[in-house]
Amino acid sequence: MLTRNLLKQTLICFIVFFTFFLSACKESREKMIEKIIAGEAKLFGTVSPQLNDSLAKSVFDSYMNYADSYSQDSMSAEYLFKAADLSLGMKNPEKSIELLQRITVEYPEHFKTPMAAFMIGFVYETGLNDKEKAKVHYKQFVEKYPDDKLAGAAQASYEQIESGLSDEELIQMFERQQDTTVSGAM
């Protein structure tokens, strides 16, 4: 009888403790989201052309804390993508690439994964000026996501890098083609 009562009390204590634990976790998650929303409102609510570095770092840290704490939550992929974008704004393309790669590995089925894969090539090309790595990632993108809306852009970027033409040379070539097309139509 004594053992049965002790077992019953232990079970009740465990249930109460577990309930408090779950509610504390939920509040923590909700508080993290509230902190992110408030930080984004401050950061993106200003009209200033300059990024407030300390505020950007705070929002970045909030994104990362959430993604690390709730890695199974689909919002984590969203926050990692936002953190990668913010990293670019804070002039840290290496960190941006690291986070974009994390999305492609940890969230392969997430709807932002193709865009993250494309952005890896884009950041290598424009943020780090590493044309060879950009080319590799654009090619991988086209092979892995041939039907994605960004496949054409990835293919065009790959071909531009492969051709060796600068942006200016490409614009001049396009303008010449336009002039030829217009004069040929007359």
pLDDT digits (tens, 9 = 90+) for 115-172: 999 999 999 999 999 999 999 999 999 999 999 999 999 999 999 999 987 778 777 7
pLDDT at 7 over 60: no
Mean pLDDT of 14-22: 51
Q: How confident is the model at residue 23 (pLDDT cuts 50, 70, 90)?
A: very low
pLDDT at 3 over 70: no
Average pLDDT of the chain, as a whole number: 86
Q: Which of 72, 74, 128, 132 lies closest to 98, judged by CA? A: 128
Q: How confident is the model at residue 4 (pLDDT cuts 50, 70, 90)?
A: low
Name residues whose C-beta falls within 8 Å of residue 53's C-beta, 6 or more positions apart in sequence.
90
Q: Which residue has the tokens 């994390």?
A: 102
Q: In the chain, pLDDT over 90 holds for what percent of residues?
A: 65
Name residues whose C-beta falls within 8 Å of residue 148's C-beta, 6 or more positions apart in sequence.
114, 118, 141
Tokens of 167: 């942006």
Q: Which of 115, 69, 64 lies closest to 87, judged by CA? A: 64
- H-helix segments, the chain: 2-44, 53-69, 75-89, 93-106, 113-122, 131-144, 151-163, 167-185
pLDDT at 186 over 70: no
Give the integer Cα–Cα distance in Å for 167 and 63. Answer: 35
Q: How confident is the model at residue 183 (pLDDT cuts 50, 70, 90)?
A: low
- Report yes or no: 80 and 63 within 8 Å, Cβ to Cβ: yes
**What is residue 22's predicted lDDT score, i.e. its pLDDT?**
47
- Report yes or no: 148 and 114 within 8 Å, Cβ to Cβ: yes
pLDDT at 26 over 70: no
Going along the chain from its start, the domains and CATH numbers come out as 2-185 (1.25.40.10)
- Report yes or no: 154 and 142 within 8 Å, Cβ to Cβ: yes
- Report yes or no: 118 and 88 within 8 Å, Cβ to Cβ: no
Which pLDDT tens digit goes with each residue over 100-109? 999 999 999 9
Helix (H, G, I), strand (E, B) or coil at 42: helix
